[in-house]
Amino acid sequence: MFAPLQNDTFLRACMRQATDYTPVWLMRQAGRYLPEYRASRAQAGSFMGLATNTDYATEVTLQPLERYPLDAAILFSDILTVPDAMGLGLSFALGEGPKFAHTVRDEAAVAKLAVPDMAKLRYVFDAVTSIRKALNGRVPLIGFSGSPWTLACYMVEGAGSDDYRLVKTMLYQRPDLMHRILAINADSVAAYLNAQIEAGAQAVMIFDSWGGVLADAAFHEFSLAYTRRVLAQLKRAHEGVVIPRLVFTKGGGLWLEAMGQLDCEVLGLDWTVNLGKARALVGSEGTSGGHAKALQGNLDPNVLFANATQIESEAIKVLDSFGTPHMNRGHTGPTHIFNLGHGISQHTPPESVEVLVRAVHAHSRKMRTETKNV
Amino acid sequence: MFAPLQNDTFLRACMRQATDYTPVWLMRQAGRYLPEYRASRAQAGSFMGLATNTDYATEVTLQPLERYPLDAAILFSDILTVPDAMGLGLSFALGEGPKFAHTVRDEAAVAKLAVPDMAKLRYVFDAVTSIRKALNGRVPLIGFSGSPWTLACYMVEGAGSDDYRLVKTMLYQRPDLMHRILAINADSVAAYLNAQIEAGAQAVMIFDSWGGVLADAAFHEFSLAYTRRVLAQLKRAHEGVVIPRLVFTKGGGLWLEAMGQLDCEVLGLDWTVNLGKARALVGSEGTSGGHAKALQGNLDPNVLFANATQIESEAIKVLDSFGTPHMNRGHTGPTHIFNLGHGISQHTPPESVEVLVRAVHAHSRKMRTETKNV
């Protein structure tokens, strides 16, 4: 059904297999910093107009790949499509974050929640298939969803928040309601990601964008436990091909050892984490009780506002902080997928991304050559 | 000049000396959640109207002590008074965060910066002396400032920020300018805190509110190094009495071992940190190369929106996560100062604070008795 994959560097790195260079893609790589994206969005009329239209979603997903030699594509969509399908009414005003028309703040609203009919998310699965076809095997396609906790934040708050007062009030005052929301979210996210896999996604990523706002004990109980519940339900493979699973908790560096125990292949890290320390903690066999992880990250997106020499130098620092990945073909070992520590800023000069991607490819090839020659 | 101190529990805990119970105070304890504070602010006309008037500053500093048996008072002021004295024009619109009329974004603006004449901050030192007198020895008075990096964030951005794009652009693109701002800030903060000590502050705290937004390497170079520069210049004692120094980096849990090397007595921690792990890392002699620290924190302020039983239970969890402090009179050892992990929310019901403070005192006395009986 789909063309054979020509560049499997990203998928190999996910599986902790040796690669010739460090693969790179960028969170939110199809986005507002690209003039061609802004033109498509203006035509579509709104963010959801783009996301719900197969042709537009395909077009904008491929835009960054036309410009840069990126090693993966990521479905153009939003982390909040699942609660939208639950009937909460997602919208995006221009220049603002997501908003829900209906919030989930009391027992009655929680009682009404259920795993949505996946038919309501058909537009996402159609987009996945269309993008996969359009990619024609160039690079793999990543599907994604928000984590159960991150979805709950928006469902209770109704929008982004500075202090997460409403969702945390529910968490501390009515933990029973919070657990009910999270269980429904976890089962919904699992069904949603499995349907993306069936539609053609070659890897899936869970964005726990707001896990880092939780207190230590609360993170384990209300975020990590439900990420685990999603992972336990995910397909391991599709049509005989393994589907790597990536988990990214923004601000989750303190909980890396616990996350190392997750049944997934890759952990995403933000820029506060030292990649060398993370590799020592969870990147190698024998660490984390044998559940070694590939690591993804973690350049500060604000580096892309500096000049070309500085961008190159900061990219090299990130690669060097991880160190040379293992080069033992036929075995698994520590691997690194280069990315930003969070989504790319809408204000980024597009030429900065070109500099970054080329620097990552060039320096990571050089690291491997130098290690061989030692 | 000042009345003798009647309750030295907080200062003893700062110095890692045994206490009968765990002292407690709350960041932003004099603030908008108190109706009497809102009345004072309405009279004064603005936040700066309160902060710059000795009588008002004294009145609002003491308001929470009239209600609750807190173990310390903290000067009513703002973390950004120093750049205001540099001529940047600090203001607070009602319901909004701080704003500067002038920003520091280019070489010319940086060239104009200098350590301000401390006479411009006289209103702060007068307030310190007035509050210390009004306290009449009830509890010790804490002075404070923003950290050099946190001041720089506001000086460059001009206000709070979601992404710190402007200040980080300068950091990556013109590190020379950023280092110059930070050096001036550090020397200014040191002079400012020393003057607070001379005016009567019995402990001083550095709020690195935005240290946690930095990338791993950048935190060490642009935040921690300048906190160190402040600490190196601070008075160790005043009139023969030791002045403990507290450092709080919001989001700094990942860098706890490095912060354990700081020449200060107390580290403040936000709610993402496990106090038991922090105690093992930096709380005992032999950890951190012998620079053991008292630990302060770290209840999620949103717990105060739950009901009384839940507030008590969460407070007990925080106390238990630290464990029983050492009880060896005449020696130093691990100690805990109870606080929130960040400032108290303006929406907090005042009666929740009463429940919290009483729970901390009661349970921490009980912990000590039970340990004795074992």
DSSP code string of A59-109: HHHHHHHHHS--S-EE-S--TTHHHIIIII-EEE-TTS-EEESS---SHHH
The predicted structure's pLDDT at residue B290 = 58
Given a cut of 90, whether residue A374 has pLDDT beyond it is no
Give me the residue from A216, A272, A298 closest to B271, CB to CB: A216
Residue range A337-351: mean pLDDT, rounded:
98
For residue B4, give how far its alpha carbon lies from the nearest alpha carbon of chain A (Å): 39
Task: Give the active site residue among B8, B78, B208, B270.
Answer: B78
Contacts of B307 in chain A (CB under 8 A): 173
**What is the C-alpha to C-alpha distance for residues B315 and B331, in angstroms, rounded to an integer?**
27
For residue A172, give how far its alpha carbon lies from the nearest alpha carbon of chain B (Å): 6
- A272/B215 touch (CB, cutoff 8 Å), yes or no: yes
Strand partners, B332: B17
- A164/B302 touch (CB, cutoff 8 Å), yes or no: yes
B172 close contact with A: CB closer than 8 A: yes
- B271/A215 touch (CB, cutoff 8 Å), yes or no: yes
Closest CA to B303 of B358, B268, B349: B349
In chain B, how many H helices and how many E strands?
16, 11
Given a cut of 70, whether residue A290 has pLDDT beyond it is no
Residue range A161-168: mean pLDDT, rounded:
95
Task: Compute the C-alpha angle A80/A85/A89, nearest 5°.
Answer: 75
The predicted structure's pLDDT at residue A326 = 95
**What is the C-alpha to C-alpha distance for residues A218 and A216, in angstroms, rounded to an integer?**
6
* Res. B21 pLDDT band, cuts 50 70 90: very high
What amino acid occupies position B100? F
Contacts of B171 in chain A (CB under 8 A): 302
Strand partners, B163: none
Number of Cβ within a 10 Å radius of residue B112 = 11
Residue range A206-218: mean pLDDT, rounded:
98
Contacts of A169 in chain B (CB under 8 A): 302, 305-306
Closest CA to B314 of B304, B324, B323, B322: B304
The predicted structure's pLDDT at residue A195 = 98
- B274 cis-preceded (ω within 30 degrees of 0): no
Given a cut of 70, whether residue A273 has pLDDT beyond it is yes
A345 close contact with B: CB closer than 8 A: yes
Given a cut of 90, whether residue B288 has pLDDT beyond it is no
- What's the token pair of residue B135? 């306290």
A214 close contact with B: CB closer than 8 A: yes
Please give the model's pTM, rounded to 2 decimal places. 0.96
A307 close contact with B: CB closer than 8 A: yes
Residue range A49-65: mean pLDDT, rounded:
97
Residue B204's φ and ψ, nearest 5 degrees, are -135, 145
For residue A218, give how far its alpha carbon lies from the nearest alpha carbon of chain B (Å): 9
Helix (H) or strand (E) holding A245: strand A245-249
* Res. B1 pLDDT band, cuts 50 70 90: confident
**What is the C-alpha to C-alpha distance for residues B155 and B185, in angstroms, rounded to an integer?**
10
**Arithmetic mean of pLDDT over chain B:** 96
> Which residue on chain B is closest to A218 by alpha carbon?
B272
Closest CA to A71 of A142, A128, A145: A142
Active site residue B174: no
ipTM > 0.85, yes or no:
yes
For residue B312, give how far its alpha carbon lies from the nearest alpha carbon of chain A (Å): 12
- A302/B345 touch (CB, cutoff 8 Å), yes or no: no
> Which residue on chain A is closest to B299 by alpha carbon?
A215
- A272/B219 touch (CB, cutoff 8 Å), yes or no: yes
Range A77-81 contact pairs with CB under 8 angstroms and sequence separation of 24 or more: A77/A51, A77/A124, A77/A127, A77/A144, A78/A47, A78/A48, A78/A51, A79/A144, A79/A145, A79/A146, A79/A150, A79/A151, A79/A207, A79/A209, A80/A146, A80/A151, A80/A154, A81/A51, A81/A121, A81/A124, A81/A145, A81/A192
In terms of C-beta density within 10 A (0-12 exposed, 13-18 middle, 19 or more buried), how is residue B15 classed? middle
Give me the residue from A168, A272, A303 closest to B302, CB to CB: A168
**What percent of chain A has a predicted confidence (pLDDT) above 70?**
98
Q: Judge contact between B188 and B139, C-beta under 8 A.
A: no
pLDDT in tens, A133-142: 999 999 999 9
Give me the residue from A219, A274, A306 closest to B216, CB to CB: A274
Residue range B195-217: mean pLDDT, rounded:
98
A266 close contact with B: CB closer than 8 A: no
Range A108-114 contact pairs with CB under 8 angstroms and sequence separation of 24 or more: A110/A177, A110/A180, A110/A181, A113/A86, A113/A180, A113/A181, A113/A184, A114/A86, A114/A184
Contacts of A345 in chain B (CB under 8 A): 163, 165
Contacts of A172 in chain B (CB under 8 A): 300, 302-303, 305-306, 310, 314
Residue A95's φ and ψ, nearest 5 degrees, are 80, 5
For residues A143-161, one letter each, b for 16 or more C-beta atoms within 10 angstroms of the residue's C-beta and e for the rest, the string is bbbbbbbbbbbbbbbbeeb
Given a cut of 60, whether residue B374 has pLDDT beyond it is no
The predicted structure's pLDDT at residue B241 = 97
- What's the token pair of residue B155? 């000086």
What radius of gyration do chain A's Cα atoms show? Answer: 20
**What is the C-alpha to C-alpha distance for residues B116 and B192, in angstroms, rounded to an integer?**
9
Residues of A with catalytic function: 28, 32, 41, 78, 154
**What is the C-alpha to C-alpha distance for residues A273 and A279, in angstroms, rounded to an integer?**
10
- A215/B300 touch (CB, cutoff 8 Å), yes or no: yes
- A173/B305 touch (CB, cutoff 8 Å), yes or no: yes
Given a cut of 60, whether residue A288 has pLDDT beyond it is no
Contacts of A298 in chain B (CB under 8 A): 215
Q: Is A333 helix (H, G, I), strand (E, B) or coil?
A: coil
**What percent of chain B has a predicted confidence (pLDDT) above 70?**
98
| Residues sharing a CB contact under 8 Å with residue B189, sequence separation 6 or more, in sequence order | B82, B145, B146, B147, B148, B151, B206, B230
> Which residue on chain B is closest to A318 by alpha carbon?
B217
The predicted structure's pLDDT at residue B102 = 97
Give me the residue from B172, B273, B345 closest to A165, CB to CB: B345
Residue range A167-173: mean pLDDT, rounded:
98
**What is the C-alpha to C-alpha distance for residues B77 and B50, in angstroms, rounded to an integer?**
8
Give me the residue from B164, B274, B302 closest to A172, CB to CB: B302
- B217/A163 touch (CB, cutoff 8 Å), yes or no: no
Give me the residue from B169, B216, B298 closest to A302, CB to CB: B169
- B305/A272 touch (CB, cutoff 8 Å), yes or no: no
Domains of chain A from N-terminus onward:
9-373 (3.20.20.210)
The predicted structure's pLDDT at residue B50 = 95
Helix (H) or strand (E) holding A142: strand A141-146
- What stretches of chain B adopt beta strand conformation (E)? 73-74, 90-92, 98-100, 141-146, 203-208, 237-238, 241-242, 245-249, 266-268, 294-299, 336-340
Can you tell me which residue has the tokens 């890897």?
A203
Given a cut of 80, whether residue B373 has pLDDT beyond it is no
B345 close contact with A: CB closer than 8 A: yes
Number of Cβ within a 10 Å radius of residue B192 = 25
Can you tell me which residue has the tokens 């690194």?
A336
The predicted structure's pLDDT at residue B5 = 98
- A254/B272 touch (CB, cutoff 8 Å), yes or no: yes
A218 close contact with B: CB closer than 8 A: yes
- B217/A168 touch (CB, cutoff 8 Å), yes or no: no
pLDDT in tens, A117-150: 999 999 999 999 999 999 999 999 999 999 999 9
Number of Cβ within a 10 Å radius of residue A345 = 18
The predicted structure's pLDDT at residue B171 = 98
**What is the C-alpha to C-alpha distance for residues A324 and A166, in angstroms, rounded to an integer?**
45
Task: Give the active site residue among B12, B16, B41, B105.
Answer: B41
* Res. A372 pLDDT band, cuts 50 70 90: confident
